[in-house]
Amino acid sequence: MDERLHVEEKPAARTLLDSYDRILVGRREAARMLSISQRSLDYLVAKRQLNVRRIGARVLISMNELKRYARADHPRPLA
């Protein structure tokens, strides 16, 4: 007789959110989403073209801010 054990899988303790479902993203992820380098992103932050949130030493950018920047026209080069 073939008896198989039925094992229920536990849900992950911590579910990773898709980048677009998150409220804040880090510099590397923000640069990737805008298809620019991290250096270019740092330039935008320094020139206050992108508003950031600082939590401790981390620099985080809201998804709304990334969308705002992406929707605007940018006729001049970054640097």
Q: Which CATH number characterizes residue 58's domain?
A: 1.10.10
In a domain, 61, yes or no: yes
pLDDT of residue 73: 84
Question: 70 near 37, Cβ under 8 Å?
Answer: no
Q: What is the pLDDT of residue 4?
A: 62
**What is the structure's pLDDT at 21?**
74
- Low-confidence residues in the chain, pLDDT < 70: 1-20, 78-79
Number of domains in the chain: 1
CA distance 79 to 71: 20
Would 3 be classed as within a structural domain?
no
Range of the domain at 51: 22-71
In a domain, 10, yes or no: no
